[in-house]
């Protein structure tokens, strides 16, 4: 079965006819040629396919394209449009938060989504006081970034990179995460 | 002695990755992502029995699916040249040698149609009882012909020396079946045209892959081009050609001109991309009252597939680590109905350091010595295996420096002494070593272009190691120019021949070629401002010093381990590695290599085990939800340092290779620390919570 959908990717609107079995990840990669999100497992187990989907981080291999008609997708390439995205890119380069780079666009989208979540006061499994504004120390960052595997083992650099951006991103405290 | 690079200006600096900006944005094209016209998609069909043969395949329902073009089976697949590498000679016979073996393939307009149709293919099998169980007392164990060197070695009389030893350790150690799991699944995009075959592939070696494909398709190498500018990790599993590459090329051949994309699913990579054999290591150490080792034996049992023999060189590191007048190493293999075993990061050396380095910890306790002191007392002054001097061996400095940095001296000598709340706390150490490998024949081309820059081409592959970046640093120094004046291109068989990115040998082989080409270029065109179009290609010369010296990198790994007294949960809050690995070309990238290896070592220590269901003949936890690899939260503090080591013999750069030394020894350090924390000696990987619950 096929369906007509519209998806906006990094600001650009696309109309496409999609097989209803097609995941959002495959629609992006195979149909639209948007290869920034990667396919590492296709089962929601690795995080390489992470994008911001209507403002929140999501694994696109677990989303069916047909269920996201009208959605706005931001990939790591699209994140470079704003200052924080650029800062994340630069911090990953500075701290060498990757080797092969295959998990990296997903890590960076996940970091962007995670900073918004923390800014909005969302607690994680390691947050001591769930009522307080979460402090993004290393343990919090590690916990919140653990949905994104890195087989190259660049976790130390990833945490340093995210921490640096989080420190300069303090202004976001009290922010909101998009409602989906 | 090799001719070194004259100046070291770019080498030793820490520029960010030159391919980094493209990678963070996701714009660097990996194999699947190269633009090709109207691709078709291939989905492999895998055997669901572990032994027997295919009696018949009914493809009617699959062929009826909209968008399906063809179903390849053993009945209709194009012929391949046989008799060289049975792993690659797929669909030529109905036999099934392991569960998950490729027995067909659907090619369709969309990946959805191909995958759906593959499920509709009905296969009738003739089953044979399968045998997938590795045991050290199997009667059919055999001695492999060769384990990179010889399978067995023996000096002196080990058994007599053991019997008379003042202190003795004799125990069996086991490492688990490990799966490489690079995050980019193994992928081939194949295109046939009038000129031949083009492959965009996730490979560690474009030239070696080309040779393998040329062989099996009986094609001249000049008719095949392989491109791999960016590869999403490999860890050995992309170092040799695997069956899916041939399958993609077969499918594309059938599609006459239309490109075919084939990406293995994560699950398929567990059977089709190689893995590390489980090992059983019987280790015996005998020492005098001062802890000097008199007898050392490592007897290894491991598995191989029936399709293709692969002998993991597990006892190799023991031949070079410690001297002893009485020494024995042996390898025995069981050929089973299992998928093809192959390279995984530090093949042989990584599992082969687990047993002996835990045994050293046990011996230290028996001798009443600190584990570091025991190791220092057994530092050989020549390579025990070859009798040659080491080009450099700075293990002692790694152990001493690491001990200071780690705060080793504060530890109580006895185990099970430190408890904080729920947690038993301990520390452990292990040594690391990895050989400096040289492979002949790599060449580099240097061309001055109209942009004023020096364009360096070598068919190397950057699987995340940093080759794009460090080769430019080496070229800059060899040419005597700024790094900005050098442009490197890799990952293409259209470039000069390069050896595979494996065995931590990339920088040695490709860097040596670049240095040779740069010297040749300067000799021909002079030192200043050669005209655009000046071009020179040269191969790396042989290094005569490899005959005179034993060449190895060394390291010491330290771990702090916490074990929950209530649940047995094991955490590793602190890992430190100190390495002696020659000159470090780019400290920023080198740190990532070391830390990445240690992190994978931690993952091996705590999590990784492909669990064989013997009834089905398959690894049941064949995905990333159940085959656990270390996540960010598993790695609270991991640090790597290196000593400033100058080795004039290894190659013109003085580098030893750093891709694998980091994973060697980590698991032993963790197991030793777990013992120190709890008093429970775990001799089997992974070190899981259940092992501590009886404590
Ligand atoms: S590809 Fe989506 S989580 Fe792995
Ligand atoms: S950089 Fe290779 S998987 Fe993360």
Angle at B37 between CA B33 and CA B38, to 5 degrees: 95
B575 token code pair: 């890992």
pLDDT tens readout for residues B297-332: 999 999 999 999 999 999 999 999 999 999 999 999
User: Least CA distance to B19: which residue of chain A?
Assistant: A101
Substitution site in A92, A152, A161 for ligand 2 pocket (most atoms within 8 Å of beta carbon): A152
Beta-sheet strand order (sheet of B95-96) = B95-96, B52-58, B122-127
Percent of chain A with pLDDT over 90: 90
Mark which residues 103-162 of B lie under 8 Å from A by CB: 110-112, 116
Asked if residue B487 lies in contact with residue B453, where contact means CB atoms within 8 angstroms, the answer is yes
Q: What is the pLDDT of residues B454-509, one digit of tens each?
A: 999 999 999 999 999 999 999 999 999 999 999 999 999 999 999 999 999 999 99
A153 lines ligand 2 (CB under 6 A): no
B contacts of A75 (beta carbons < 8 Å): 26
Contacts of A33 in chain B (CB under 8 A): 35
- What residues does CATH 1.10.150.120 cover in chain A? 78-169
Interface test with A, best of B117, B183, B628 (most A CBs within 10 A): B183
Provide, as residue numbers in chain A, all residues whose Cβ is less than 8 Å from the Cβ of B232. 38, 100-102
Q: Give residue-wise pLDDT tens across range B362-379.
A: 999 999 999 999 999 999
- Render B538-603 in DSSP notation, one character per residue: EEPPP-THHHH-B-EEEEEEEEEEEEETTT--EEEEEEEEEEE-B--S-HHHHHHHHHHHHHHHHH
If you average pLDDT over residues B333-338, what whole number do you get? 98
B182 lines ligand 2 (CB under 6 A): no
Distance between CA atoms of residues B506 and B499, nearest Å: 7
In chain A, which residues fall in CATH 3.10.20.30?
2-74
| B464–A152 CB contact, under 8 Å | yes
- Please give the pLDDT value at position B5: 76
| Residues of B noted as catalytic | 660
pLDDT reading at A31 higher than 70:
yes
d(CA B157, CA B161): 6
Q: Is B418 exposed, middle or buried (0-12, 13-18, 19+ CB in 10 A)?
A: middle
User: Is B183 within 8 Å of A102 when comparing Cβ atoms?
Assistant: yes
Look at B466 and A99 and tell me if their CB atoms are within 8 Å: yes
Instruction: Give B222-241 pLDDT, tens digit per residue.
Output: 999 999 999 999 999 999 99
Residue B203 near residue B231, CB atoms below 8 Å: yes
**Cβ distance of A153 and B635 shorter than 8 Å:** yes
For residue range A118-132, list pLDDT tens digits in order: 999 999 999 999 988
| Model confidence pLDDT, tens digit, residues B600-645 | 999 999 999 999 999 999 999 999 999 999 999 999 999 999 999 9
Q: Please tell me the distance from the alpha carbon of residue B279 to that of residue B684, in angstroms, as a whole number.
A: 10
Ligand 2 atom 4: the closest Cα is on which residue? A150
Size (chain B), residues: 695
* CA pair distance B61, B92, nearest whole angstrom: 23
For the cut 70, the answer to whether the pLDDT of residue A172 exceeds it is no
Ligand 1 centre to CA of A110 (Å) is 12
SS3 (DSSP) at A85 = helix
What is the rounded distance in angstroms from the CA atom of residue B615 to the CA atom of residue B669?
35
Rounded average pLDDT over A57-73: 98
Confidence of residue B1 (pLDDT cuts 50, 70, 90): very low
Asked: is B20-31+439-542 a CATH 3.30.365.10 domain? The reply is yes
Averaged pLDDT of chain A: 95
Closest ligand 2 atom number to CA of residue B184: 3
In the CATH scheme, what is the homologous superfamily, with its name and number, of domain A78-169?
[2Fe-2S]-binding domain (1.10.150.120)
Whether the CA torsion A135, A117, B20, B642 is positive or negative: it is: positive
> Nearest by CB to A45, which of B16, B26, B624?
B624
The pLDDT of residue A174 is above 70? no
The closest of A129, A99, A68 to B23, measured between CA atoms, is A99
Alpha-carbon span B222 to B595, nearest angstrom: 40
In tens, the pLDDT along B587-602 reads 999 999 999 999 999 9
pLDDT above 90: residue B518 = yes
Q: Provide, rounded to the nearest whole percent, the portion of chain B with pLDDT above 90.
A: 97
Count of CB atoms situated within 10 Å of the CB of B370: 18
* B388-435 residue pLDDT tens: 999 999 999 999 999 999 999 999 999 999 999 999 999 999 999 999
Q: Is the pLDDT of residue B695 over 70?
A: no
Give the pLDDT band (50/70/90) at residue A169. confident
Is pLDDT at B679 greater than 70 in this prediction?
Answer: yes
User: How far does chain B reach from its first CA to its final CA, in angstroms?
Assistant: 56
Closest-approaching ligand to the CA atom of A151: 2
Q: Say if the Cβ atoms of A36 and B624 lie within 8 Å.
A: no
A132 lines ligand 2 (CB under 6 A): no
pLDDT of residue B446: 98
Six-digit token string for A147: 């949905």
Answer yes or no: is pLDDT of B4 > 80. no
- From the number of C-beta atoms within 10 Å of its C-beta (0-12, 13-18, 19+), residue B257 rates as exposed
Each residue's pLDDT tens digit, B546-577: 999 999 999 999 999 999 999 999 999 999 99
Q: Sign (positive/negative) of CA torsion B363, B368, B371, B373?
A: negative
CA B110 to CA B246: how far, in whole Å?
20
Helix axes B206-217, B243-254, angle to 10 degrees: 60
**How far apart (Å, rounded) are the C-alpha atoms in residues B481 and B254?**
50
* B184 close to B30: Cβ distance less than 8 angstroms: yes
Measure the CA–CA gap between B212 and A65, rounded to whole angstroms.
39
Beta carbons of B592 and A157 less than 8 Å apart:
yes
Reported as a single tens digit per residue, the pLDDT across B103-154 is 999 999 999 999 999 999 999 999 999 999 999 999 999 999 865 678 999 9
Q: Which two tokens stand for residue B59?
A: 């493809």
User: Which CATH number is A2-74 given?
Assistant: 3.10.20.30
Ligand with an atom nearest the CA of residue A60: 1
The architecture that CATH gives domain B153-178+276-437+548-694 is 2-Layer Sandwich (3.30)
Backbone angles phi, psi at B187, to 5 degrees: -140, 140
**pLDDT confidence tier of residue A177, bands split at 50, 70 and 90:** confident
Q: Which of A159, A142, A166, A168 is nearest to A96 (CA)?
A: A159
- Does A155 reach chain B within 8 Å, measured CB to CB? yes
A167 CB contacts (<8 Å, ≥6 apart)? none
CB B386 within 8 A of CB B550: yes
CATH number belonging to the domain at B34-129+183-233+239-272, selected among 3.90.550.10, 3.30.720.110, 3.50.50.60, 3.90.1170.50: 3.90.1170.50
How many A from CA of A76 to the centre of ligand 1? Answer: 15
* Fold agreement between B34-129+183-233+239-272 and B153-178+276-437+548-694: no
- Count of pairs with CB atoms under 8 A, one residue in A, one in B: 182
Residue with tokens 């293999």: B333
Mean local confidence (pLDDT), A28-49: 98
User: Quick one: DSSP state of residue B655?
Assistant: B
**CA nearest B695: which of B426, B325, B354, B413?**
B426
For chain B, domain boundaries: 20-31+439-542, 34-129+183-233+239-272, 153-178+276-437+548-694
Q: Looking at chain A, how many residues does it have?
A: 180
Question: Taking CB atoms and an 8 Å limit, are A101 and B20 in contact across chains?
Answer: yes
Question: B179-203 pLDDT, tens per residue?
Answer: 999 999 999 999 999 999 999 999 9
* Site to substitute for ligand 1 among A37, A43, A104, A145, most atoms within 8 A of C-beta: A43
* pLDDT value at B694 more than 80: no
Query: Which of A107, A153, A160 has the highest number of chain B CBs within 10 A, making it the mutation to test binding with B?
Result: A153
């Amino acid at each position: 079965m096929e369906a007509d959908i519209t998806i906006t990717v990094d600001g650009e609107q696309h109309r496409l006819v999609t097989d209803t079995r097609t995941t959002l990840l495959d629609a992006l990669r195979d149909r639209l040629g948007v290869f920034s999100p990667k396919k590492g497992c296709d089962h929601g187990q690795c995080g390489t396919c992470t994008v911001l989907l209507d403002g929140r981080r999501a694994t696109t291999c677990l989303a069916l394209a047909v269920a996201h008609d009208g959605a706005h997708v931001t990939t790591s390439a699209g994140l470079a449009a704003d200052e924080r995205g650029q800062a994340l890119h630069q911090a990953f380069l500075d701290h060498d938060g990757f080797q092969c780079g295959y998990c990296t666009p997903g890590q960076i989208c996940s970091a962007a989504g995670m900073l918004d979540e923390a800014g909005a006061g969302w607690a994680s499994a390691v947050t001591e006081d769930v009522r307080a504004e979460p402090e993004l120390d290393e343990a919090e960052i590690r916990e919140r970034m653990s949905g994104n595997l890195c087989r190259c083992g660049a976790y130390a650099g990833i945490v340093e990179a995210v921490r640096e951006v989080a420190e300069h991103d303090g202004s976001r405290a009290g922010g909101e995460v998009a409602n989906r | 002695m090799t001719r070194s690079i004259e100046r070291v200006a770019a080498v030793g600096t820490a520029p960010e990755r030159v391919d980094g900006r493209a990678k963070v944005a996701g714009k660097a094209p990996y194999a699947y992502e190269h633009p090709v016209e109207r691709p078709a998609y291939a989905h492999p069909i895998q055997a669901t029995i572990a032994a027997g043969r295919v009696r018949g395949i009914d493809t009617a329902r699959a062929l009826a699916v909209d968008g399906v073009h063809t179903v390849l089976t053993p009945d209709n697949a194009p012929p391949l040249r046989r008799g060289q590498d049975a792993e690659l000679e797929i669909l030529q016979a109905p036999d099934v040698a392991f569960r998950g073996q490729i027995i067909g393939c659907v090619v369709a307009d969309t990946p959805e149609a191909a995958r759906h149709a593959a499920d509709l293919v009905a296969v009738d099998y003739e089953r044979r009882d399968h045998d997938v169980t590795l045991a050290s007392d199997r009667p059919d164990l055999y001695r492999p012909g060769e384990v990179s060197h010889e399978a067995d070695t023996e000096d002196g009389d080990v058994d007599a020396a053991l019997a008379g030893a003042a202190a003795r350790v004799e125990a069996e150690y086991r490492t688990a079946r490990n799966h490489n799991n690079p995050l980019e699944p193994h992928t081939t995009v194949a295109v046939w045209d009038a000129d031949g075959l083009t492959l965009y592939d996730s490979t560690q070696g474009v030239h070696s892959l080309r040779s393998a494909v040329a062989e099996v398709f009986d094609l001249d190498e000049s008719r095949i081009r392989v491109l791999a500018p960016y590869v999403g990790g490999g860890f050995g599993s992309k170092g040799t050609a695997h069956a899916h590459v041939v399958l993609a090329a077969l499918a594309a051949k059938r599609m006459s001109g239309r490109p075919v994309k084939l990406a293995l699913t994560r699950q398929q990579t567990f059977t089709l991309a190689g893995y590390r054999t489980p090992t059983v290591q019987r280790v015996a150490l005998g020492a005098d009252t001062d802890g000097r080792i008199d007898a050392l034996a490592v007897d290894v049992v491991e598995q191989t597939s029936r399709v293709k023999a692969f002998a993991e060189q597990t006892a190799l590191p023991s031949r070079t680590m410690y001297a002893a007048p009485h020494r024995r190493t042996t390898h025995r293999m069981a050929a089973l109905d299992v998928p093809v075993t192959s390279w995984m990061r530090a093949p042989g050396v990584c599992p082969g350091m687990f047993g002996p380095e835990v045994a050293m910890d046990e011996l230290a306790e028996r001798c009443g010595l600190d584990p570091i002191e025991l190791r220092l007392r057994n530092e050989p002054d020549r390579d025990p295996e070859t009798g040659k001097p080491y080009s450099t061996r700075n293990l002692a400095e790694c152990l001493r420096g690491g001990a200071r940095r780690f705060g080793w001296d504060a530890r109580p000598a006895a185990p099970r002494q430190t408890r904080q709340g729920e947690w038993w706390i301990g520390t452990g150490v292990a040594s690391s070593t990895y050989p400096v490998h040289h492979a002949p024949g790599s060449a580099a081309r240097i061309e001055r272009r109209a942009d004023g820059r020096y364009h360096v081409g070598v068919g190397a592959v950057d699987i995340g190691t940093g080759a794009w970046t460090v080769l430019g640093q080496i070229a800059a120094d060899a040419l005597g120019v700024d790094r900005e004046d050098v442009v490197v291109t890799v990952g293409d068989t259209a470039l000069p021949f390069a050896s595979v990115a494996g065995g931590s040998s990339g920088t040695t082989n490709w860097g040596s070629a670049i240095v040779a080409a740069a010297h040749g270029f300067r000799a021909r065109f002079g030192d200043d401002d050669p005209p655009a179009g000046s071009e020179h290609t040269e191969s790396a010369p042989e290094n005569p010093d490899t005959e005179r010296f034993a060449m190895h990198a060394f390291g010491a790994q330290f771990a702090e381990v916490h074990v929950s007294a209530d649940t047995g949960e094991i955490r590793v809050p602190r890992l430190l590695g100190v390495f002696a690995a020659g000159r470090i070309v780019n400290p920023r990238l080198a740190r990532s290599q070391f830390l990445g290896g240690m992190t994978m070592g931690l993952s091996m220590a705590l999590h990784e085990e492909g669990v064989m269901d013997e009834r089905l003949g398959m690894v049941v936890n064949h995905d990333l939800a159940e085959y656990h690899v270390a996540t960010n939260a598993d790695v609270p503090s991991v640090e790597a340092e290196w000593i400033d080591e100058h080795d004039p013999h290894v190659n013109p750069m003085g580098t030893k290779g750093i891709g694998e030394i980091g994973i060697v020894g980590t698991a032993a350090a963790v197991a030793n620390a777990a013992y120190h924390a709890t008093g429970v000696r775990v001799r089997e990987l992974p070190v899981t919570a259940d092992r501590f619950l009886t404590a």
